[in-house]
């Protein structure tokens, strides 16, 4: 039995307004300002430790790129620590994009550091680059740091779009975890190298920075899911067939209100069976959270999701979260337009029921490739009737002009569009089309709240 709108009302976890206070969040702007301030401080530090800092020269370049790379690593680790303040304030998909861009920048900085440091050494000693390379490798921690650098370069290569597409998510993820080994291998060189050697206070501060960011990872990626497993005792309660290749999984647990989950959010789920325990998959809550039950809805798209379809009631579940910033907290104005494409309906279904908006100013636009692919039709129609909200299904081929998502079509459906908040969850292609159309229809960027089902 799916969690119906009626069942949610009894025992449902408080709505977004009350939950806002539960977790402190940091905005993207604050994260960017703090990161930039740190980078400026590190560049100044490089100036202090480099000889002749007032002229751009190879030693200064080597110092600055090395320190910035070392600092950048701590920022990247913290961004992916899954700390709730970041996940809720910035959003998981934006964090992943920043991490990807930052990771590429760090690999470049490491390369610049290696080349500039070796060239500077060769110039200072009047030796060949080959002799300088051998000399440099005998410095404290340099062999380990070189192995670390090679690992960083390899991870940069497998994370490039073309290589990434050829690897399964699991393989890519396991290889990506080697980053922690690369960090450990490079750390002693950072402390003992010429940038920080002889500056004990800075060495302590540098070590604390690393301890802090790795501590965040340990706290939120390792300890939090294990604590949740023990405290909430989540298990699969039952499974409901929703349509071709789509099932809802209803999970039963204890004290779920303590998690402060909200409609619009997702968890990373690890189902503890022999076949599925190795992978954790992100799935959104497809019904408002309840003190004892959570519902997710899973479309079979690959091996992992196909295995999830054959889970049995009673299976233990390790859930990490809640994550995601697409909640009521993000709203700027009064009315709301929810746009869902395909299985992107899952968080929208929960928001459609719970967003504290006057029903007359609430619209759900749901695009599916055919009428048979529409999920939760009865539930959505029930909620629309009950709240007096507008529900629009768009089905059929994209070539049909009636299905086109343009500024004109959106404005015709929702005349007060520029005054509304828009929540969007769809495939990257549909999301890009909708984003362009919304901008042309006059929607201010800050009123668009978007999450992709794709990292
Ligand atoms: C924030 C978020 C919320 C989501 N909510 C839902 C939902 O409510 N319902 C639903 O059906 N789908 C949802 N998805 C998509 C779902 O997580 C993937 O379809 C699923 O993990 C694919 O696993 P697979 O092994 O079957 O597919 P594969 O064929 O292995 O992969 C298909 C795609 O999913 C990506 N993927 C695979 N495993 C993971 C993972 N562990 N973490 C992140 N990405 C992965 C791959 O990179 C690839 O792009 C969501 C995704 C995200 C990022």
Task: Tell me which residues of the chain have a pLDDT lower than 50.
Answer: 1-9, 15-21
Q: How far apart are CA 214 and CA 81, in angstroms?
A: 8
Among 307, 301, 257, 250, CA closest to 277: 307
Q: Give CB contacts under 8 A, 24+ apart, made by 16-22.
A: 16/262, 16/263, 16/264, 16/327, 16/328, 16/329, 16/354, 16/355, 16/356, 17/328, 17/356, 19/260, 19/262, 19/327, 19/329, 20/328, 20/329, 22/260
Tell me which residue has its CA closest to atom 44 in ligand 1: 455
CB 195 within 8 A of CB 67: yes
Q: How far apart are CA 175 and CA 170, in angstroms?
A: 9
- Can you give the pLDDT at residue 93? 82
The pair of structure tokens assigned to 97 is 């994009």
**Residue range 5-12+229-323 in CATH 2.40.30.10:** yes
The pair of structure tokens assigned to 235 is 């298990």
CB 424 within 8 A of CB 439: no
- Can you give the pLDDT at residue 329? 85
- Can you give the pLDDT at residue 3? 45
- Can you give the pLDDT at residue 270? 95
Fold of domain 331-452: Rossmann fold (3.40.50)
Among 395, 407, 397, CA closest to 433: 407
- Can you give the pLDDT at residue 450? 87
Q: How far apart are CA 164 and CA 187, in angstroms?
A: 27
CB 190 within 8 A of CB 210: no
- Can you give the pLDDT at residue 1? 38
- Can you give the pLDDT at residue 17? 41
Ligand 1, pocket residues at CB < 6 Å? 92, 168-169, 266, 279-284, 296-299, 301-305, 343, 346, 451, 453-455
Ligand 1 site-directed mutation target among 80, 301, 349, most atoms within 8 Å of CB: 301
Phi, psi dihedrals of residue 323, rounded to the nearest 5°: -125, 170
Tally DSSP H helices, then E strands, for the chain: 18, 11
Ligand 1 site-directed mutation target among 93, 97, 158, 283, most atoms within 8 Å of CB: 283
Handedness of CA 277, 281, 285, 289 (dihedral sign): positive
Tell me which residue has its CA closest to atom 7 in ligand 1: 283
- Can you give the pLDDT at residue 20? 43
The pair of structure tokens assigned to 308 is 């999830």
The pair of structure tokens assigned to 27 is 């905005």
Task: Calculate how far, in angstroms, residue 452's C-alpha sits from the geometric centre of ligand 1.
Answer: 10
Instruction: Return the domain boundaries, the chain.
Output: 5-12+229-323, 28-222, 331-452
């Amino acid at each position: 039995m799916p969690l119906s709108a009626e069942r949610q009302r009894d025992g449902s976890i408080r709505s977004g307004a009350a939950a806002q206070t539960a977790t402190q969040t940091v905005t993207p702007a604050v994260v960017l300002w703090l990161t930039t301030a740190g980078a400026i401080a590190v560049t100044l530090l490089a100036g202090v430790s480099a000889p002749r800092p007032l002229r751009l020269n190879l030693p200064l370049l080597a110092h600055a790129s090395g320190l910035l790379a070392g600092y950048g690593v701590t920022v990247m680790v913290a961004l992916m620590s899954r700390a709730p303040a970041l996940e809720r304030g910035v959003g998981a998909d934006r964090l992943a994009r920043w991490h990807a861009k930052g990771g590429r920048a760090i690999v470049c900085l490491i390369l610049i550091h290696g080349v500039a440091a070796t060239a500077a050494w060769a110039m200072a000693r009047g030796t060949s680059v080959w002799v300088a390379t051998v000399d440099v490798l005998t410095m404290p921690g340099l062999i380990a740091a070189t192995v670390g650098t090679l690992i960083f370069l390899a991870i940069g290569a497998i994370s490039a779009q073309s290589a990434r597409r050829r690897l399964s998510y699991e393989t890519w993820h396991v290889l990506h975890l080697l980053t922690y080994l690369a960090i450990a291998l490079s750390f002693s060189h950072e402390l003992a190298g010429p940038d920080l050697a002889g500056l004990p206070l800075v060495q302590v501060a540098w070590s604390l920075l690393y301890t802090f960011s790795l501590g965040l990872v340990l706290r939120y990626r390792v300890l939090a899911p294990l604590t949740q497993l023990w405290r909430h005792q989540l298990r699969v309660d039952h499974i409901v067939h929703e349509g071709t290749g789509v099932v809802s999984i209803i999970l039963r647990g204890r004290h779920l209100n303590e998690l402060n989950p909200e409609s619009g959010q997702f968890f990373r789920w690890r189902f503890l069976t022999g076949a599925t325990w190795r992978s954790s998959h992100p799935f959104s809550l497809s019904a408002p959270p309840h003190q004892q039950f959570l519902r997710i809805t899973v479309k079979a798209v690959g091996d992992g999701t196909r295995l999830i379809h054959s889970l049995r009631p009673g299976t233990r579940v390790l859930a990490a979260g809640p994550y995601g910033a697409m909640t009521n907290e993000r709203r700027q104005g009064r009315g709301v337009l929810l746009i869902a494409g395909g299985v992107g309906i899952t968080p929208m279904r929960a928001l459609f029921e719970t967003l504290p908006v006057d029903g007359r100013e609430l619209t759900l636009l749901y695009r599916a490739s055919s009428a048979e692919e529409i999920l939760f039709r009865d539930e959505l129609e029930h909620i629309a009737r009950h709240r007096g909200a507008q529900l629009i299904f768009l089905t059929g081929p994209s070539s049909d002009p009636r299905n086109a998502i343009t500024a004109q079509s959106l404005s015709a459906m929702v005349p007060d569009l520029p005054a509304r908040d828009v929540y969007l969850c769809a495939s990257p292609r549909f999301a890009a089309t909708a984003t362009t159309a919304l901008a042309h229809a006059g929607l201010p960027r800050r009123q668009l709240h978007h999450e992709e089902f794709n990292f």
